């Protein structure tokens, strides 16, 4: 009896699979209606959009999946947005599942890009955005998955909030009153930046090179932190490392103090000063000025 039942079950299974294939094949988009990310790459450049702005304007970007590039332009009076939809599909109908919108609300220029369906981004569907702005604009940028870069902004009174869930962040040639940058998974690199800085990385290196900084809070859960340039500390600040080394090479005013503690790793302080030294704790006293508290769970701390 068992030998008869096995072939019957197999035949029934084959019949069910055949029926499912026929149903899918007769859909308007065939297999692509079910497996929306299986197919060659297709690109669709959207019409360029422009918005007139003035001092005090803010760029707001929320791109779930795609590359975001923001470029400051001296003397510009408008925001120019170039967007490209990228899908993997056997049909151009897949472009309809990738949404993009740019609008203006008062002093804000708002850019939104998102996918239909929770898994759309897994197949590489995305919106790449290049935005040219006056160099005085402030920004509030969020990228879900993709490279994010901002450069050539020169308003020393502007405030910037920049966030990426997964992807590299690059900030180059910026002057700002305040920058708050967070990255869940990916490297963060600032270069030639003058600002008061709050930065946090979940997983990946965090570097601010050739920059002039007031350190409010710098935190890395897992990754190297490197800060070089000039320190202009006006208030107490902190640097926190979970797992990774710190290299700090910042010329600083004479009255800045450091309190350095490590759980597992060496402390190397190479500047002349008076300090209390234990294997896991340095208190560097250079006066009564701002204090930078450095804590490391696992990794060396080097200050040159």
**pLDDT-derived band of residue 28, with 50, 70 and 90 as boundaries?**
very low
Give the percent of the chain with pLDDT over 70. Answer: 79
Predicted structure pTM score:
0.84
Average pLDDT, the chain: 86
The DSSP secondary structure of 230-286, one letter per residue, reads EE---S-EEEEEEES-EEEEEEE-TT-EEEEEESSS-EEE-S--EEEEETTEEEEES
Q: What's the confidence (pLDDT) of residue 34? A: 46
Residue 239 tokens, joined: 């640097």
Residue 25 has pLDDT above 60, yes or no: no
Q: Are 98 and 85 in contact (CB under 8 A)?
A: yes
Residue 138 has pLDDT above 80, yes or no: yes
Q: What's the confidence (pLDDT) of residue 215? A: 97
Q: What's the confidence (pLDDT) of residue 123? A: 60
Q: What is the pLDDT of residues 226-252, one digit of tens each?
A: 999 999 999 999 999 999 999 999 887
Exposed, middle or buried, 61 (CB in 10 Å: 0-12/13-18/19+)?
buried
CA distances from 301 to 137, 208, 227, 248, 298 (A): 36, 16, 12, 8, 10
Residue 161 tokens, joined: 């909030």
Q: Are 137 and 84 in contact (CB under 8 A)?
A: no
Angle at 171 between CA 151 and CA 297, to 5 degrees: 175
Q: Tell me how far apart the alpha carbons of residues 102 and 67 are, in angstroms, rounded to a whole number.
A: 16
Least-confidence region, from 21-30, 95-104, 116-125, 194-203: 21-30
């Amino acid at each position: 009896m068992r030998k008869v039942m096995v072939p019957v079950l197999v035949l029934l299974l084959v019949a069910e699979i055949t029926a499912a294939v026929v149903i899918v094949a007769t859909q308007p988009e065939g297999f692509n209606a079910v497996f929306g990310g299986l197919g060659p790459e297709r690109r669709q450049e959207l019409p360029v959009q422009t918005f007139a702005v003035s001092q005090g304007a803010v760029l707001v970007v929320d791109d779930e999946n795609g590359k975001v590039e923001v470029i400051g332009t001296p003397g510009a009076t408008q925001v120019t947005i170039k967007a490209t939809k990228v899908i993997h599909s056997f049909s151009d109908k897949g472009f309809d599942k990738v949404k993009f919108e740019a609008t203006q609300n008062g002093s804000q220029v708002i850019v939104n890009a998102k996918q239909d369906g929770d898994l759309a981004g897994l197949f590489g569907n995305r919106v790449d955005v290049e935005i040219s702005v006056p160099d005085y604009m402030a920004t509030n940028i969020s990228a879900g998955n993709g490279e994010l870069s901002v450069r050539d902004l020169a308003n020393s009174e502007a405030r910037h909030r920049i966030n990426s869930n997964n992807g590299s962040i690059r900030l180059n040639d910026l002057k700002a009153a305040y920058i708050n940058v967070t990255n869940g998974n990916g490297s963060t690199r600032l270069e030639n930046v003058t600002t008061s800085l709050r930065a946090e990385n979940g997983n990946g290196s965090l570097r601010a090179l050739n920059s002039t900084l007031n350190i409010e809070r710098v935190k890395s859960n897992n990754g190297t932190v490197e800060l070089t340039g000039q320190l202009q500390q006006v208030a107490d600040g902190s640097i926190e490392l979970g797992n990774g080394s710190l290299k700090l090479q910042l010329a600083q005013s004479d009255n800045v103090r450091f309190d350095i503690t490590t759980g597992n790793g060496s402390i190397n302080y190479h500047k002349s000063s008076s300090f209390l030294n234990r294997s896991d704790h340095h208190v560097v006293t250079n006066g009564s000025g701002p204090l930078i508290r450095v804590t490391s769970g696992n990794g060396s701390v080097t200050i040159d």
